[in-house]
Structures are given as C-alpha cells and as structure tokens.
Amino acid sequence: MVTDKIKELEATKARVTKLEQSIAAQLTKELAALPGQYGFDSVEAFCKAVKAAAGKRRGSAPKKAKAAGKKRRKRAVITDATRAEVKKLVEAGKTGGEIAAAVGISLPSVQNIKKALGLVGKK
C-alpha cells in the first residue's frame, strides 16, 4: 500500500540524514587532524604551507606561453584611404575576408568600417 511506502520513504530519509551528519562529523574530525599528521603545530601554519605549495596564482588561470617564433600582430590604423578602399571593394562584390586580406586589416575591422559607412543591411 501507499502508506507503507510513505513510511519506508520517511525511514529512508531519516537514515540518509543520520548518515550525512555522521559523514560531516567524521570529515571535520579528519580535517582537524591533518596538520598534526603532516607535522604542523597549528592550523595556521598548515594553511600557510598549503598556500605556499599551491603558488601565488589565487583564482587566476596560468598565462599561456607564447608560441615559439610567433609575433603579435600590430594594431591596424584605419585611415580615410582605408575606408575608401573597403567601400570600393564592397561595391566590387568582394567578401569580408577578401577585403581584410587585400587591405591588411582584420575581418572585424572590415565589418566595423562597413557598419560605419552604412554598407551593412539590417537583419
């Protein structure tokens, strides 16, 4: 019957709660014993040693190493001549990637110029 299952469920919930409390108590006890197991007199000294072993990167990801021989690209200077060239190539039917390669700027720069010149249709 349903009532028997409900009683069984309540009993199981009570066992789970008791087990969770037991685990929490045991975990607390084991964590409190850690500094002594590693030869430290205090929790503070143990925490300081753990932090030193972890390094000083708190919360930040390690920086990527530069690829060997790969130089960082310089920032493009967008002039009126650049804008005119982009406009001419757009009117000639070139794609954004083709324009970027021809003018020597990035695709996002081409898109920004097209947007500023009103050459992009609304979606």
Q: Given pLDDT bands bounded at 50, 70 and 90, which one contains residue 121?
A: confident
In the chain, how long is the greatest CA-to-CA distance?
85
pLDDT at 68 over 70: no
The full length of the chain comes to 123
- pLDDT for the residue numbered 120: 80
pLDDT at 63 over 90: no
The two structure tokens encoding residue 4: 């028997």
pTM of the model: 0.41
Q: Given pLDDT bands bounded at 50, 70 and 90, which one contains residue 102?
A: very high
∠ Cα 36 39 43 (to 5°): 55
- The alpha carbon dihedral of 49, 54, 57, 58 has a sign of negative
- Per-residue pLDDT of 79-88, as tens digits, reads 999 999 999 9
